[in-house]
Amino acid sequence: MNDAAALELEPRLPCAAETSAPAAWYALWTRSHCEHLVRDQLAAKGFDLFLPKVDKWSRRGGESHVIHVPLFPGYVFLRGALDKASYLEVVKARGLVQVLGERWDRLATIPPGEIKAIRSIVDAGVPALPYIYLREGQRVRITRGPLAEAEGILVRTKPNRGLLVVSVNLLQRSVATHVDCTWVEPA
């Protein structure tokens, strides 16, 4: 059997344009420092992947230099319509922990607008840093500064400033103060 015939017998994975289902974005959770490994394996199989990276200064051997690191350590994004066969090809990748979701036919999807925004930041080459995910109404703890270890509810966020509300439930009273959101973490 020649090589062309052997290629015809191998199962071919559908690309998003060939299937009737719309292409969705999925998050692939990888083992620590395995983002490139997973991306390279799946890209070789024809999958459409996105691994956003940012520049970071690193100091090794007494020299500082810029390295490219994943913006979301431990995650790679995949676009496509995943049927059971293509899902099974994805989960075979070395270094992959799982595709986020309940099971193969109920995978969690990421809105295309969120991926588009991340891609535009990465493509623009503007300075970007991973930032802790905070929501209004979330219970948070201050990590630094004069309010270190104080816990409360984050009421309002601005680019770098939030309003922290600390309550005394017994008295049914609260006090609010402005805090630097870079000093806040989820409680």
pLDDT at 2: 45
Domain count, the chain: 2
Side chain identity at 82, as an amino acid letter?
A: L
Q: Do the Cβ atoms of 142 and 164 come closer than 8 Å?
A: yes
Question: Is residue 113 domain-shared with residue 25, that is, in the same domain?
Answer: yes
22 and 108 both lie in a single domain: yes
Residue 31 has pLDDT above 90, yes or no: yes
Quote the domain boundaries for residue 181. 139-186
Q: What's the alpha-carbon Rg for the chain, to the nearest Å?
A: 22
CA 74 to chain centre: 8
Per-residue pLDDT tens for 53-111? 988 888 988 999 999 999 889 999 999 989 999 999 999 999 999 999 999 999 999 99
Average pLDDT over residues 39-59: 94
Domain contains 134:
no
- Of 76, 57, 78, the residue nearest 67 (C-alpha): 57
Cβ neighbourhood burial of 42 (10 Å; 0-12, 13-18, 19+): buried
**CA 137, chain centre distance (Å):** 22
Distance CA 26, CA 107 (A): 7
pTM of the model: 0.68
- Tokens for 108? 């969690």
